[in-house]
Structure 1
Amino acid sequence: MGDKESAPVSSQQQARAQAYAITSGKTAPEAEPSPTSRLRALFDRPQLSPGQRRIAQYLIEHLTEAAFLSITDLAERVGVSQPSVTRFAGAVGFSGYPALRERLQAIALGALAGGPGAEESGGNELQAAVDAEIENLENLRRDFADPDRLIAVGRELSASTPLTVLGLRISASLAEYFAYAARRIHPDVRLVTRSGSVAYDALLQSREAGGTWLLAFSMPRHAQETLTAVRVARSAGLRVALVTDLALGPVADEADVTFTSGTGSRLVFDSYAAPGVMAAALLQAMTDADPERTQARLEEYEQVSDQHQFFLRD
């Protein structure tokens, strides 16, 4: 509705960058952490063995069912021994499995009391898949009640020149989306979607060119190549921000900072509503970190896209 000759035309991205800057989250300091966040905080212990991490991840993913299992049933579901479950309970600060199960039941019952009633609504498998994604988004919303850490990392990613974005196998789509958008607001974004020596070359060159951060995406099934690439990045001197569904695990162990968001697993192939929002939130944090550069680059891009008619006119 504007006149091109009298005023610059702002793209939707420009308008959003101006109107929706992330604030420090102090407006909702009393927001209740999500059950998933509470479990991740409970189990976030660096001394956990790989077997204990498997137990923790099972409890996170199957809370409402697992909280009421006997030690025998839980051990069988996870594929570990009963003594392993007992040692896990001690490793996360409980006197034994009964005490841990009591805590899990309290969290599970609270989640059931406050969560959406997917079973009550009936519906088919597709609707159940949507319900699961809604729950993932609700958990992410609770995590965003205090966005200070996301804001800080967005500032670091914005300052890293070049900024390298890594996504291998199924995670490539999220990495491509992030890199495509980030190039509108950042002068040098390098996308890595191939593994092996090609990835290693790109990571080493990024560090040599002055880059300080790698943003990596790791979605299930988690690729061995992603772990290797993250280790190469760390050894080269890059810091690593990771977007994943697992707060615990070998890739998260290698990252400097991890942002976790659930994936939809009710269909044959996973869906990524919450990780997509997480990626967009990090992009927003980058735009907020350097608003002058953001505005200048978006205006320049609009001029180029208009000149070459990149887009159809609605």
Structure 2
Amino acid sequence: MPSPQQARAQASAITSGKTAPEVEAAPTSQLRVLFDQPRLSPGQRRIAQYLIEHITEAAFLSITDLAERVGVSQPSVTRFAAAVGFSGYPALREKLQAIALGTLAGGPAEEDRANELQAAVDAEIENLENLRRDFADPDRVIAVGRELSASTPLTVLGLRISASLAEYFAYAARRIHPDVRLVTLGGTVAYDALLQSREAGGTWVLAFSLPRHAQETLTAVRVARGAGLRVALITDLALGPVADEADVTFATGTGSRLVFDSYAAPGVMAAALLQAMTDADPERTQARLESYEQISDQHQFFLRD
């Protein structure tokens, strides 16, 4: 009798039955692609992030109003429009309005008034809907899952509040990967672990950077890159210092309606990469899950449901 993990590994491979995307990418994803330039200045990144976070309102602002909202000069907005491939701000605003109107046209009808807890759930549902649209084309997830699967050892980095998702990922990845190294302490402890991972033959690090973003995460990612490791990043910001240092960034929204953030969409993103790793080497996956089931039965790790 296969375990739940074995059954899912056999039945839900994301590479099987793949069809062409039928769903338009989420508005935030469209904007991230639009603004995905190699080296935007800090001021230009602030403009991009403001547009991503306030698309339905910002798309209709004048250049003066947008500059004032972001706290930059009007020439900075003009230079930003040119940096992302437009002849000027009017052309950029026309594109933004098309994206914003598509968002409004496809949005839900006015809902009943919700209390704060319901509003927090609604915000997470929106994050998950956006992630669902991003998954319409899973090629990038599949490719990175293949790379993580092949990296031995595989290092998983998550500092401060990001440690919880890193621990989840590492716990599950150890069921299907022979050498997963978890790093949840910063400073020289992280440096040692990253350098040792590279010396042992590792090629990739999966890093988590969730709000509030830790300075030591940025430093650790830079150390990893300096040692020759490539970095895949799960975060909430497609633009910013940590994303700039990563080789691949998976940006998805976090819930920010309550005192402490919630991480439904990043959790699903992590699970999707785990699924891609199982698909990358199905024979190893099956063998390791079978071996683990035998050990867990022998030592009675789990209660009988």
TM-score by length of 2: 0.96
Secondary structure of 1:262's aligned partner: coil
- CA shift in 2, pair 1:22/1:91, >3 Å: same
Q: CA deviation at 1:25?
A: 7.1
Counterpart-to-counterpart distance in 2, 1:129 and 1:66: 23
Q: Is the 8 A contact 1:244 1:261 kept in 2?
A: yes
Q: Residue 177 in 1 paired to residue 168 in 2?
A: yes
Whether contact under 8 Å (1:63, 1:108) holds in the other structure is: yes
Q: CA deviation at 1:288?
A: 0.7
Counterpart Cα distance in 2 of 1:209 and 1:46 = 31
Q: Is the 8 A contact 1:25 1:146 kept in 2?
A: no
- Post-superposition offset of 1:31: 2.4
SS in 2 for 1:164: strand
What SS is found at the alignment partner of 1:123? coil
Pairwise CA distance, 1:22: 1.0
Q: Structure 1, residues 132-170: CA drift from partner, whole Å, max 9, x if none? A: 111111111111111111111111111111100000111
Q: In 2, are the aligned partners of 1:24 and 1:148 still within 8 Å (CA)?
A: no
What's the offset of the Cα at 1:115?
Answer: 2.2
Change (3 A) 1:108 1:25: farther
**1:57-77 superposed Cα distances (whole Å, 9 cap, x missing partner):** 111011112112222322222
Distance 2:17 2:76 in 1: 40
Instruction: Tell me if the contact between 2:203 and 2:230 (Cα under 8 Å) persists in the aligned partners.
Output: yes
From the superposition, tell whether residues 263 and 235 of structure 1 become closer, same or farther in structure 2 (CA, over 3 Å): same
Deviation sequence 1:264-298 (CA, Å, 0-9, x none)? 11222111111100000000001111111111111
Distance 1:24 1:39 in 2: 29
Provide the rounded CA distance (Å) in 2 between the counterparts of 1:218 and 1:119.
34
Partners of 1:96 and 1:62 lie apart in 2 by 20
Q: CA deviation at 1:46?
A: 1.5
Flag the 1:25–1:82 CA change in 2: closer, same or farther, 3 A.
farther
Instruction: Tell whether the 8 Å contact from 1:263 to 1:270 is kept in structure 2 after alignment.
Output: yes
Deviations 1:214-250 (A, max 9, x none): 0001112211111111111111111111111111111
Is residue 164–residue 192 contact of structure 1 (8 Å, CA) maintained in 2? Answer: yes
Residue 74 (str. 1) matches residue 41 (str. 2) = no
Deviation, 1:305, is 1.2
Once residues 75 and 128 of structure 1 are traced to their aligned partners in structure 2, the CA distance between those partners, rounded to angstroms, is 30
Larger mean Cα displacement after TM superposition, 16-25 or 197-206: 16-25
Percentage of identical aligned residues: 90
Asked whether the equivalents of residues 21 and 284 of structure 1 are also in contact (C-alpha less than 8 Å), the reply is yes
Give the Cα separation in 1 of the matches to 2:48 and 2:150. 35
Alpha-carbon distance, 1:124 to partner? 1.5
1:178-231 CA distance string (max 9 Å, x none): 000000111110000100000000000001111111000111221111111111
State the distance in 1 between where 2:286 and 2:85 align.
49
Once the two structures are superposed, residues 76-102 of structure 1 have per-residue CA deviations (whole angstroms, 9 ceiling, x without a partner) of 222222221222122112232222222
Ranges in structure 1 where 5+ consecutive residues have no aligned partner: 1-8
Q: Are the counterparts in 2 of residues 53 and 248 from structure 1 also a CA contact under 8 Å?
A: yes
TM-score, length-normalised on structure 1?
A: 0.93
CA distance in 2, matches of 1:104, 1:146: 23
Whole-angstrom CA distance in 1 between matches of 2:39 and 2:139: 27
Q: Is the 8 A contact 2:209 2:217 kept in 1?
A: yes
Residue 257 (1) aligns with residue 248 (2): yes
Displacement of 1:47 in angstroms is: 3.2
Judge conservation of contact 1:24–1:147 (CA < 8 Å) in 2.
no
Mapped contact 2:15–2:279 kept (Cα < 8 A): no
The worse-fitting range, judged by mean Cα deviation, of 89-98 and 191-200 is: 89-98
Contact 1:245 1:260 in 2 (8 A): yes
Q: How much is the aligned-residue C-alpha RMSD, in angstroms?
A: 1.4
Does the CA contact (< 8 Å) of 2:26 and 2:133 recur in 1?
A: yes
Q: Is the 8 A contact 1:68 1:105 kept in 2?
A: yes
* The 10-residue stretch of structure 1 (240-249 or 202-211) with the greater mean CA deviation from structure 2: 240-249
